[in-house]
């Protein structure tokens, strides 16, 4: 599309999470550091929340990459499961042959033995759950019971929950207070400010092969920041559409008009009428 026009090797603003494009913006760098420290300290539950599009799944994948070779991991991307299926999913992720288990009791028994074997080998086990706000309440309680598996000296399973802010409301229920009390570390991802949005755009462009001057003019950058609210996913959408508009006019820089065109074409962006005082 516009890649050759701007001297790019690939599309810089694809929505698919790619850890190569991770920017160590303050909020996201702090969250990653907290995760690694908490897991090193063998804490039980860790919770990371953020609005839609703030980069939770990208951070989740980056964490899994960081843990490779340092821990055994189980990754559940869609936890809207009944308790029995959650147990089976975790067991399968850890290499347990659940087809040999006749019932849930046998699945748990086999899973417990696997966790003990890994502990004896000096391998920490980390369960990472994305979109955790989608878990039914019985499954959340089953998850708590799963973390009761332990030796005399250590927990056999650590759990990292990634979820939208609705996860806080779910865990705020009185019936889930026991799990809530086990969350020893938590962090809320923040949106990017204008400076961070500028760094984010430049970082992604550089990763995609761009080596020219400032591609987004200051007025365009200001509009994209305001219209996106600093949410990375929306920044990607608006940057992509702005570059399309610039390419369509044969321009070598994204200007204010191109950004406005992108904003008007994006329903989830703050529209020009709401941005009037910044125009």
SS3 267: coil
Which residue, 170, 188, 206, sits at the end of a domain? 188
Looking at residue 278, its pLDDT comes to 45
CA distance 243 to 220: 11
Q: What is the pLDDT along the chain (279 residues), one digit of tens a residue?
A: 889 999 999 999 999 888 888 888 888 999 999 999 999 988 789 999 999 999 999 999 999 999 999 999 999 999 999 999 999 999 999 999 998 899 999 999 999 999 999 999 999 999 999 999 999 999 999 999 888 876 656 788 999 999 999 999 999 999 999 999 999 999 999 999 999 999 999 999 999 999 999 999 999 999 999 999 999 999 999 999 999 999 999 999 999 999 999 999 999 887 655 454 444
1 domain-assigned: no
Cα(134)–Cα(130) distance, rounded to whole angstroms? 9
d(CA 44, CA 81): 21
pLDDT of residue 152: 56
Residue 215 and residue 85 share a domain: no
Residue 158 sits at φ, ψ, to 5 deg, of -105, 145
* Residues 147 and 176 sit within 8 Å (Cβ to Cβ): no
In angstroms, the Cα distances linking 243 to 60, 170, 220, 246, 270 are 29, 40, 11, 5, 19
Asked whether residue 135 falls in the same domain as residue 175, the answer is yes
User: Are 183 and 265 members of one domain?
Assistant: no
Q: How many CB atoms lie within 10 A of CB 99?
A: 8
* Strand partners for 207: none
Q: How many domains is the chain built from? A: 2
Q: Encoding tokens for residue 7?
A: 């001297």
Classify residue 31: in a domain, yes or no.
yes
The confidence score (pLDDT) of residue 138 equals: 95
- Tell me, yes or no, whether 87 and 108 share the same domain: yes
184 and 205 fall within a common domain: no
> Would you say residue 7 lies in a domain?
no
- Both 40 and 176 in one domain: the answer is yes
Q: Are residues 184 and 197 in the same domain?
A: no
Residue ending a domain, among 136, 154, 188, is 188
Same domain, 43 and 153: yes
Is residue 75 domain-shared with residue 140, that is, in the same domain? yes
Considering the domain boundaries, does residue 13 fall inside one?
A: no
Does residue 61 sit within a domain?
yes
CA distance 163 to 184: 16
Could you give the CA distance from residue 227 to residue 222 in angstroms, rounded to a whole number?
A: 9
Q: Dihedrals φ, ψ of 134, to 5°?
A: -85, -5
The count of C-alpha atoms lying within 13 angstroms of the C-alpha of 2, restricted to the half-sphere facing its C-beta, is 23
**33 and 169 housed in the same domain:** yes
> Residue 205: which CATH number?
1.10.8.60
How far apart, in whole angstroms, are the C-alpha atoms of residue 111 and residue 23? 36
- Residue 265 covered by a domain: yes
Residue 14 lies in a domain: no
Which residues lie closer than 8 Å to 186 by C-beta, 6 or more apart? Answer: 46, 47, 48, 49
Domain match, 60 and 130 both: yes
Which residue segment(s) compose the domain that 269 sits in? 193-278
- CA–CA gap between residue 6 and residue 245 (Å, rounded): 13
- pLDDT for residue 273: 57
Q: Which residue do the tokens 């006749």 mark?
A: 102
| Whether residue 57 is found in the same domain as residue 92 | yes
- Residue 163's domain is classified under what CATH number? 3.40.50.300
Domain boundary among 159, 188, 217: 188
Flag whether 103 is in a domain: yes
Whether pTM > 0.85 for this model: the answer is: yes
């Amino acid at each position: 599309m516009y890649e050759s026009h701007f001297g790019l090797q690939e599309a810089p603003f694809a929505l698919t999470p790619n850890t190569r494009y991770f920017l160590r913006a303050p909020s996201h760098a702090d969250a990653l550091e907290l995760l690694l420290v908490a897991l090193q300290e063998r804490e039980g539950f860790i919770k990371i929340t953020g609005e839609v599009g703030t980069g939770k799944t990208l951070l989740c994948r980056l964490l899994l990459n960081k843990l490779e070779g340092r821990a055994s991991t189980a990754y559940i991307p869609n936890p809207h499961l009944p308790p029995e299926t959650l147990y089976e999913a975790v067991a399968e992720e850890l290499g347990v042959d659940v087809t040999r288990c006749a019932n849930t009791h046998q699945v748990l028994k086999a899973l417990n033995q696997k966790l003990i074997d890994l502990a004896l080998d000096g391998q920490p086990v980390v369960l990472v759950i994305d979109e955790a706000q989608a878990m039914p309440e019985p499954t959340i309680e089953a998850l708590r019971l799963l973390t009761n598996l332990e030796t005399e000296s250590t927990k056999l399973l650590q759990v990292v929950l990634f979820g939208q802010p609705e996860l806080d409301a779910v865990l705020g229920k009185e019936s889930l207070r026991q799990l809530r009390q086990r969350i020893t570390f938590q962090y809320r991802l923040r949106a990017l400010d204008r400076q961070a949005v500028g760094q984010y755009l430049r970082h992604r462009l550089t990763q995609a092969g761009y080596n020219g001057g400032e591609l987004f003019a200051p007025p365009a950058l200001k509009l994209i920041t305001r219209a996106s609210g600093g949410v990375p996913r929306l920044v990607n959408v608006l940057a992509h559409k702005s570059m399309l508009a610039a390419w369509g006019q044969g321009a070598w820089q994204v200007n204010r008009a191109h950004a406005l065109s992108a904003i008007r074409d994006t329903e989830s962006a703050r529209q020009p009428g709401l941005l009037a005082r910044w125009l």
